[in-house]
Chain A
Amino acid sequence: MSPNELSSYLTIGAILFGLGLFTVLTRRNAISVLMGVELILNSANINYVAFSHFSSGNSAGQIYAIFVIMLAAAEAAVGLAIVLAIFKLFHTIDVEAAETMKD
């Protein structure tokens, strides 16, 4: 239970967060962007579970992670439905092609 173990989990969490953000910013495919969002949510999950195990001494963090997983599923369901609607109307799921409103 050395603090070093905790920091390695936190490093993975931070890397995952960065990768998620990078995916969202660079990908043009709507499904890939949604996958980036999932990566961000899971980076938070790793942090919660790691903190819960190593430092807090209670299971609140693990319960938080379960709720985040549940909400990620709900968000994916809504997200895929919207992507489907986009595909029907635009015949593509390229987020930059779906660009009818501009300043």
Chain B
Amino acid sequence: MDLKNVASLTFFCPEIILSVTILLIIALDLIAQSRRWPAALALIGCLCSLIVSFDLYSAQPGLLFHRMIVLDNFSIFFKVFSLSATILCILMSIGSNEIDKVHEGEYYALLLTCTLGMFFMASSSNLLMAYLSLEMVSLGSYVLTGFLPHSRRSSEAALKYLIYGGVASGTMIYGMSWIFGMTGSMDYAAIQLALSQEGINKAALFIAFIFILAGFGYKIVFFPFHMWSPDVYQGAPTPFTAYLSVASNTAGLAIMIRFFFPGMSKLLASGDWTATAGVEWPQVLLALSMLTMTIGNLCALNQRNVKRMLAYSGIAHAGYMMMGLAILNNEGLAAILFYAVVYMIMNLGAFLVVGMVSNVTGDEDIDDYRGLAWRGATVPAICLAIFLFSLTGMPPFAGFMGKFFLFSAVVKQGGAFAVLAIVAALNSVVSLYYYAKIVKTMFLDSPLPEDKQVTMAANNFTLLLPLTFLTILFGVYFGPLVQYTNYSLRFFIK
């Protein structure tokens, strides 16, 4: 199926609904006075879009808008994923004191614009579309990072994000220009066809890939493009940090999988992929993945700010997920998708508790968590402990299963990948130290008299308990999710 503009609109409903919601929020923002409606409207828009996305499974996979966008199970998976993350983030924003201080109409409009950009990131099948979607997410993210008025941290974070993002995406399009020059086309399928012929300069192609990795790497947050993330995570409003750490990260993985797998590799019948033109990018990813997880975990060890620590832990998790890319087969990709879902649940849960505490204390310093369990917040403290142990990868929580699938896919490859698996296992042990440090602070340290009582609003509980439940559920009953991620790994290749 290769559709023209008007015929494509039938299969474009989730995006249309989201766009209409964004425009409605902007327009109504000029008229309405009440404070709660933008969040409600954004939620309704996301839910409608989610329902319509599931409808698309019955449609035939194909290319839309003159081969700009591809519709297949993989892109629908990421629509569902980004929308789920957005819905959770909106619910988190409703319970956050930080968001109360900002202009809510603009906040939700920009948030949904980022989500719309993520839809395109996961489904672009053209170099131009890849760049535009990446920038769509980035521009919204810069603004939302600096959204807190009169906050030095927030503005500083936005400036750093903008400079890193601008350089990274500029480097990426410079690399893309070389690919365009070598192949004469922007379309992934045509590029692959051109690359599989003789006479391609491998060294030039390799350098172009490295340049393009800069753009993807800054979205996924892997070494050496990770420097912005601790500052941005610390400075941005907490609900948006949570959104950035799961949705933006994973959208980066989606665009990278889309570019390197259906775009630059060939699928064999066995479920393995081979890199076209013999360019050694999987080895580069292998090395980067080891460095990313090690640096993320080592830097997290002595952080005092919990948001900053979670930023470094996010870098480490990006490293784990990249292992699945380096091994070049469908099993690894399925493990990435499974891990992404699990990571979304546990990481959003952790940020939810961090947001609850900073609502009361106004900061995220680890001292604010002293004796949290004995300051009226026993349930959130227990939930945070579960999320953190799950992030470490301890059974019986979901994080364990996520790591299990990733590691087993890597170990099966043997050779240099066995070393990768060992490095990753050692890293998990290191990460236990800083996750357990917070748990120790919450339960074993006794609170000082000046520590404030942390009381929880009801709407926070309605989000916290389901997330905890899912973290435990996917650790013991993961069959349906595994099936769903395997089902989502069907690319439309032409």
Contact = CB atoms under 8 A, between A and B. Distances in A.
Interface of A: 10, 13, 17, 20-21, 24, 30, 33-34, 36-37, 40-41, 43-44, 47-48, 50-52, 55-58, 60-61, 63-64, 67-68, 71, 74-75, 78-79, 81-83, 85-86, 89-90, 95, 98-101, 103
A60 B174 contact: no
Contacts of B308: 101, 103
Given A24-B167, A79-B166, A55 B155 contact: no
A43 B211 CA distance: 13
The B contact surface, by secondary structure, is helix
Contacts of A98: 152, 155-156, 159
B235 interface: yes
Interface in B176-196: 176-178, 180-181, 184-186
A82 B173 CA distance: 24
B139 A78 contact: yes
B142 interface: yes
Given A24-B163, A75-B166, A60 B180 contact: yes
A86 B150 CA distance: 10
Nearest to B150: A89
A41 B153 contact: no
Given A61-B180, A67-B131, A95 B170 contact: no
18 contacts: A30-B159, A36-B167, A37-B170, A41-B170, A47-B177, A51-B177, A55-B184, A56-B184, A60-B186, A63-B128, A68-B173, A78-B162, A82-B155, A82-B158, A85-B146, A86-B159, A101-B235, A101-B308
A86 B156 contact: yes
Contact of A101 (B132, B146, B184, B231): B231
A79 B129 CA distance: 22
B167 A40 contact: yes
B167 A67 contact: no
Given A21-B167, A99-B156, 15 more contacts: A13-B174, A33-B163, A44-B170, A44-B174, A47-B177, A47-B178, A48-B177, A52-B180, A56-B184, A63-B128, A64-B128, A78-B139, A89-B150, A101-B153, A101-B157
Top 4 A-B pairs, shortest CB-CB distance: A40-B170, A47-B177, A37-B166, A51-B181
A3 to B, nearest CB: 12
A34 B146 contact: no
Contacts of B170: 20, 37, 40-41, 43-44
Interface of B: 127-128, 131-132, 135, 139, 142-143, 146, 150-153, 155-159, 162-163, 166-167, 170-171, 173-174, 176-178, 180-181, 184-186, 230-231, 234-235, 299, 302-303, 308
Contact of A56 (B153, B163, B171, B185): B185
Nearest to B156: A98
Contacts of B184: 51, 55-58
B159 A95 contact: yes
Given A43-B174, A101-B234, A82 B135 contact: no
B139 A75 contact: yes
A51 B299 CA distance: 43
Contact of B303 (A78, A82, A103): A103
Nearest to A37: B166
Contacts of A58: 184
Contacts of B159: 30, 82-83, 86, 95, 98
A90 B152 contact: yes
A34 B164 CA distance: 10
A1 to B, nearest CB: 15
Nearest to B305: A101
Contacts of B234: 101
Contacts of A30: 159, 163
A34 B160 CA distance: 11
A19 B132 CA distance: 24
Contacts of B167: 21, 24, 36-37, 40
A97 to B, nearest CB: 10
B74 to A, nearest CB: 25
A61 B181 CA distance: 9
A94 B150 CA distance: 18
Contacts of B186: 60, 64
A78 B142 contact: yes
A14 B308 CA distance: 36
A25 to B, nearest CB: 9
Contact of A34 (B143, B166, B181): B166
A7 B236 CA distance: 44
Nearest to A36: B167
A46 to B, nearest CB: 9
Contact of A40 (B151, B174, B181): B174
Nearest to A46: B177
Nearest to A75: B166
Contacts of A40: 166-167, 170-171, 174
A100 B166 contact: no
Nearest to A65: B177
B158 A44 contact: no
Nearest to B304: A103
Nearest to A21: B167
Nearest to A58: B184
Taking each of B128, B131, B155, which has the highest tally of chain A beta carbons within 10 Å of its own beta carbon? B155
A65 B151 CA distance: 36
A101 B167 CA distance: 21
